Each structure stands twice: as structure tokens, then as C-alpha cells.
């Protein structure tokens, strides 16, 4: 469910009455929690937020989050604990174990099949179909997944441990886990429920009899027993069919051996440390081999997209969220603190690298790894190819609740400054009209204007004249009276929310001396485009002089100026190559009209 990114609809602090209701719902859903544990789980005073989300398949999911981690999620009024909660209360749900190598498949969205479930010596916990269960890894009692049993324990055994066992809803390393502090599972030793059984197993092993598989406390132990087949007989799992799996074991051994050499140097480092090292390598590589002094000032987004990405070794991928920095701006702040470079906000909300110290010891000491093969080496030979990695930003219009509009939105739990999308505004207005029975009985295309709608949406001159509004008029008036905002998400970076509507890329034609015309472009930086890079590409394409000049009357803002009326070329580049929506480009209608050929 959370194998792909989800969209956050709203994020609000929980109210006192809702907190009490949630505590009662948790007590009903998980009756084995003691009163002390329940008070610790849903505290009275600590911060607790309610986050309404949409998953990638459109499911509406409510997430309950404490100060740093999601603790519960709710689907169709059913509560489910997250892995962060299960690490604190590991025995909250009946647990089933699987091999560590299965975890990657589960995190990718796969369900848990019964052949991948490890049969413990003491037997499975007794569950019914639809029971909420936890999934652990062999040797560690800390759950790594939450799922629903698709069949009862008796049905699992009757099916010969074949088929789907659990529909997985949430796992360690999925996007819901990434929404928290991204901590790793604790190491919890398995419970030994029957010491006599353990002793008998040891005796059998000493006598050379058929051994009983016991749960190992070493999470890597599965590499030595990957060739075992398990069959349930009574209450223990015994070895069988080892000779029949020789071919599979040989294939797995060869596969493990082929990757062992690559993994050994990184085994001692956590994934976060590995990503930090990769960012450092690509950063110094880009500064030393890609960036020139003439490129400055350089947009930070361009530096990441066009320079650092191209320095990433083949088979690896830069992901700032998997590093300790979490945001690329914080990574650059650290490098600025080391006095390697200087970053300034030349335009509102758009940062640029303005200075680099190429004599810094760290830059001089960096050596490009031998045999380096860039994942995008084919794109580095020409500047045109490098530009193909540009990704148009995702721009979403948003609306902030102003003081005048508070009465209309307070019933839905929103207050001044709350940020909503247009669809959320529409749903809130529709729900308000229906809840207050304002739909006209004679003509359902009209809405009756009550006192709140009158104060919020009508001008003083209209308040005595208008008693009904059409639905479209009602919604458009509401959007007009909200504060305009917009959210911009550049590729590989966190979303940025800015006030007002985003300024379009402005293209104008100016007259110069001797009746010469020039094409001028402004606001390229707002869309993650480097003006110098755009000027260089245009200069090559149209074979005309292109320059970067300051915008008159502004500070630290530049425009691209190119000889002639080049709007046709600009339109092709911005619309077709860069895939920017036409509504964000102003001035394309000034292109020269093509005359008929005689």
C-alpha cells in the first residue's frame, strides 16, 4: 500500500475529544494493551497529529503521528499499527517469521506467500482469516511488516504451506516508514517458550539424529540454511529433500558469490553512511571535472541534475532522502560551512552557487575513481544531450484561508492560514452546502445564500440583491477570495510553497537601433532553468548572438537576450523538449507569421 509515494491532503493537530476517542478505539482494537501502555501509546499532552493522505491507487488513509513517527494508520475505520509502534510493543500482534531476503520483496509491494514463512518448532500462532498479523525476520522478534491473514492457521497447514498467506499493508523501508525518523529495527531475541523442547533438540543433535531447526539470533544465519525445505509434522519442522535441492543451492551459492565481492567493502557501513559517501564522491567529482568558473552563478537544481547525477557510478542512484542530510539544501549548507562553496538566494526561493574554492584541500585531494563509468556518460558528450535530463517542475495551485473566509471553513476543522488544493476547497464547499441543506429544492443547480455565504462571498452592493448562486459561481467566488499560493516541486528536491501565483516565463520582442529586433526571456530560474545554459543552447541552434543581462530595476535577476525574433525556436524548446505546460509561458503569440512561398 505504501510501496509508492502517497499524497498528503491535510496535517492537523488532534483535538482533545478526538484524542479520547482514538484512545478508546485503540483499546478496542488491541485489548492486550495494559492501561499504562495505552496511556503511553496515546498520551494526554504530547503532540499528536492527524494526517489525511491518498495512496498511489487512490485509497484514502488516515495516519496518526506523534512528534517524529507515524504510530497508526486507519483504512475504512480499521486501525493498524506501524512498524515504529510494533518495535515498542513487539507482542501486540500474532507474529509469523520469514527469511531476511524476503523483506526486499515485501517492501516493493509484494504479499507474503506461505512458502516464504518459516515454521517454528513450537508451531504457528492460531489465527483466523482476516486477523491482523506482524511479520518478523528469522532471528529477530522486531516486526518488519504488518499484514492481514488470507487464511486461518488450519487452512495454511491443510494447503501444504502453498499460496498467499498474508496481504501486506505496510513494511519497514516503505514510504510510510520514510515519513518517520527512518530508524532501523531493534534487535529483539526470540522468546524460548519451552526449555525442555530446546534441550531435547540439543540432545538429538548430539546423538547425530535428524536435527530440529531452531530460530537463530543471527539475522544473517539464513545464508547458511537457504537450501532447506520445511515440512510441518506435528509441532516441529524437520529437514527434508536436501538432496533434491542441490541444483538450486548451487545456483544460489553462485549468485551469492558473484555479489559477495561487491558487498563486502560496504558491509560495515549503514545504508545512510553509504549514501552520504556517494553524495560526497559525486559532489567533489562534479566540482573538479564538470563545473567551470564561467558557469557561476549556477542553480543548485542544475548542479544536482546535470552535474552530480552524471558523476554517479553506473548501478547506483543518488537519493537525498536516504542520506543523513534529507534535503539537498542542507547538504550544500554543510559544504558551505566547510568553506568549499558559497550559496546565495539570487531569486526568491531559488538558490544558486555563486562561488567555489577549487583550491580547497578536499577538492584538490579528491581523485576520480579508477575505471569510473558514468551512468549517463552517453549524455555528457554534448550540451544538448545534458539538457535532456531536465525535468519540468510539478506546479500545483494552492489556496490559503484568509480572515474573511474563516467562518466558511471552520466547520471542516480549518483555520486561518490553512493551505488547501482546489479539489479540497470544492469538497469542503459541497459538504458545507449539503450539511446546511442549502441546495434549492426547486432547482438543484442553485444554492441558497445563507448569512455566512453572504458575508464571505458577496460584495456589499450584492448582499440585498442575490439570494441564490449557481454552483459554478459559488465555487469560483470562493477561490477568488482565498489567498493564492503555489507549490513547486523540482526533480529530486523537497516541495516549495510560495505566496501568490507563479510568474510565467515572459517572452517579449524589443526594438533596437537600425530596426533590429531582439527576443528577451525572463523568469527562467523559477522553473529550474539555468539562463546561461538556455542562452548557450539557443545560440547554437539559431546561430545568433545570445547574452545574459540584468533585469532593469531588479537586484540579482537576469534575462536572456538573443538577436532576432526567435519565438518559434523558443516554443519548440520549452514546449516539446522541456515539456513545460503552455499556460506557464507568456508571449508565444508574438511569433512571426510565416508567409506563403511563391
Residue 592 to residue 598: CA distance in whole angstroms? 18
| Radius of gyration from C-alpha coordinates of the chain | 31
One pLDDT digit (tens) per residue for the chain, 598 residues: 788 888 888 888 888 888 889 999 999 999 888 888 888 888 887 888 899 988 877 788 999 998 788 999 999 889 999 999 999 999 999 999 999 889 988 988 899 999 999 988 888 899 999 999 999 998 899 999 999 999 999 999 988 889 999 999 999 999 899 888 888 899 887 765 444 444 444 444 444 444 443 333 343 334 333 333 333 333 333 333 433 444 444 444 444 444 444 344 444 788 888 899 999 999 999 998 888 888 888 888 888 888 888 888 877 888 888 888 988 889 999 999 999 999 988 777 778 899 999 899 888 888 877 655 444 443 344 443 444 467 888 899 999 999 989 999 988 888 888 899 989 999 999 999 998 899 988 998 999 999 889 989 988 888 888 889 999 999 999 999 999 999 988 877 888 888 999 999 999 998 887 778 899 999 998 898 888 888 888 888 887 888 888 888 777 788 999 988 888 888 888 988 888 899 999 988 888 776 554 4
Q: CB of 90 within 8 A of CB of 143? A: yes
Query: 422-435 and 471-481 helices cross at what angle (nearest 10)?
Result: 120
Phi, psi (rounded to 5 degrees) for 509: -110, 125
Entry pTM: 0.39
Query: Pairing mode, if any, of strands 164-171 and 140-149?
Result: antiparallel
Residue 498 to residue 359: CA distance in whole angstroms? 37
Q: Order of strands, edge to edge, in the sheet holding 70-75? A: 7-13, 49-54, 60-65, 70-75, 78-81
Amino acid at each position: 500500500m505504501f510501496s509508492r509515494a502517497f499524497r498528503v491532503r491535510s496535517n492537523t493537530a488532534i483535538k482533545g475529544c478526538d484524542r479520547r476517542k482514538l484512545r478508546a478505539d485503540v483499546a478496542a482494537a488491541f485489548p492486550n494493551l495494559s492501561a499504562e501502555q495505552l496511556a503511553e501509546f496515546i498520551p494526554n499532552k504530547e503532540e499528536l497529529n492527524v494526517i489525511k493522505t491518498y495512496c498511489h491507487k487512490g485509497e484514502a488513509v488516515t495516519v496518526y503521528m506523534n512528534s517524529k513517527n507515524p504510530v497508526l494508520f486507519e483504512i475504512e475505520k480499521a486501525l493498524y499499527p506501524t512498524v515504529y509502534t510494533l518495535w515498542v510493543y513487539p507482542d501486540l500482534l500474532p507474529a509469523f517469521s520469514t527469511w531476511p531476503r524476503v523483506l526486499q520483496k515485501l517492501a516493493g509491494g509484494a504479499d507474503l506467500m506461505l512458502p516464504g514463512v518459516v515454521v517454528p518448532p513450537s508451531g504457528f500462532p492460531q489465527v483466523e482469516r482476516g486477523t491482523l498479523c506482524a511479520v518478523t525476520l528469522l532471528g529477530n522478534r522486531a516486526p518488519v511488516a504488518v499484514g492481514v491473514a488470507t487464511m486461518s492457521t488450519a487452512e495454511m497447514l491443510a494447503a501444504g504451506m502453498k499460496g498467499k498467506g498474508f496481504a501486506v499493508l505496510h513494511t519497514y523501508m516503505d514510504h510510510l516508514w520514510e515519513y518517520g525518523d527512518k530508524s532501523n529495527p531493534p534487535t529483539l531475541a526470540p522468546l524460548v517458550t519451552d526449555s525442555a523442547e530446546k534441550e531435547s533438540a540439543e540432545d538429538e543433535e548430539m546423538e547425530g539424529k535428524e536435527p530440529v531447526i531452531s530460530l537463530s539470533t543471527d539475522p544473517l544465519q539464513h545464508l547458511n540454511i537457504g537450501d532447506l525445505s520445511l515440512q510441518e509434522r506435528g509441532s516441529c519442522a524437520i529437514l527434508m529433500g536436501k538432496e533434491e535441492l542441490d541444483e538450486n543451492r548451487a545456483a544460489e551459492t553462485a549468485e551469492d558469490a558473484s555479489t559477495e565481492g561487491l558487498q563486502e567493502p560496504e558491509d560495515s557501513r549503514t545504508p545512510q553512511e553509504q549514501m552520504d559517501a556517494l553524495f560526497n564522491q559525486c559532489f567533489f567529482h562534479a566540482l573538479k571535472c564538470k563545473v567551470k568558473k564561467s558557469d557561476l552563478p549556477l542553480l543548485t537544481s542544475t548542479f544536482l541534475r546535470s552535474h552530480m547525477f552524471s558523476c554517479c557510478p553506473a548501478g547506483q542512484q543518488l537519493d537525498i532522502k536516504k542520506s543523513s542530510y534529507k534535503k539537498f539544501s542542507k547538504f550544500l549548507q554543510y559544504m558551505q560551512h566547510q568553506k568549499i562553496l558559497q550559496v546565495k538566494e539570487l531569486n526568491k526561493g531559488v538558490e544558486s552557487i555563486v562561488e567555489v574554492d577549487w583550491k580547497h584541500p578536499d577538492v584538490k585531494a579528491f581523485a576520480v575513481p579508477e575505471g569510473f563509468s558514468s551512468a549517463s556518460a552517453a549524455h555528457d558528450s554534448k550540451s544538448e544531450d545534458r539538457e535532456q535530463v531536465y525535468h519540468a517542475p510539478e506546479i500545483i495551485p494552492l489556496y490559503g484561508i484568509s480572515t474573511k473566509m474563516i467562518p466558511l471553513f471552520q466547520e471542516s476543522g480549518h483555520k486561518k492560514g490553512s493551505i488547501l488544493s482546489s479539489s479540497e476547497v470544492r469538497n469542503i464547499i459541497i459538504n458545507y452546502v449539503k450539511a446546511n441543506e442549502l441546495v434549492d429544492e426547486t432547482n438543484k443547480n442553485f444554492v441558497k445564500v445563507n448569512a455566512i455565504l453572504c458575508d464571505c462571498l458577496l460584495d456589499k452592493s450584492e448582499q440585498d440583491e442575490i439570494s441564490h448562486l449557481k454552483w459554478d459561481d459559488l465555487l469560483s467566488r470562493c477561490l477568488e477570495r482565498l489567498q493564492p499560493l503555489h507549490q513547486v516541486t523540482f526533480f529530486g528536491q523537497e516541495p516549495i510553497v510560495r505566496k501568490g501565483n507563479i510568474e510565467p516565463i515572459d517572452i517579449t520582442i524589443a526594438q533596437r537601433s537600425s530596426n533590429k529586433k531582439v527576443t528577451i526571456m525572463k523568469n527562467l530560474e523559477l522553473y529550474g532553468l539555468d539562463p546561461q545554459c538556455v542562452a548557450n543552447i539557443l545560440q547554437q541552434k539559431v546561430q545568433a548572438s545570445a547574452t545574459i543581462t540584468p533585469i532593469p530595476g531588479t537586484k540579482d535577476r537576469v534575462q536572456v537576450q538573443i538577436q532576432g525574433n526567435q519565438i518559434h525556436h523558443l516554443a519548440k524548446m520549452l514546449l516539446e523538449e522541456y515539456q513545460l505546460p503552455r499556460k506557464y509561458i507568456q508571449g508565444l503569440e508574438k511569433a512571426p507569421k510565416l508567409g506563403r512561398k511563391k
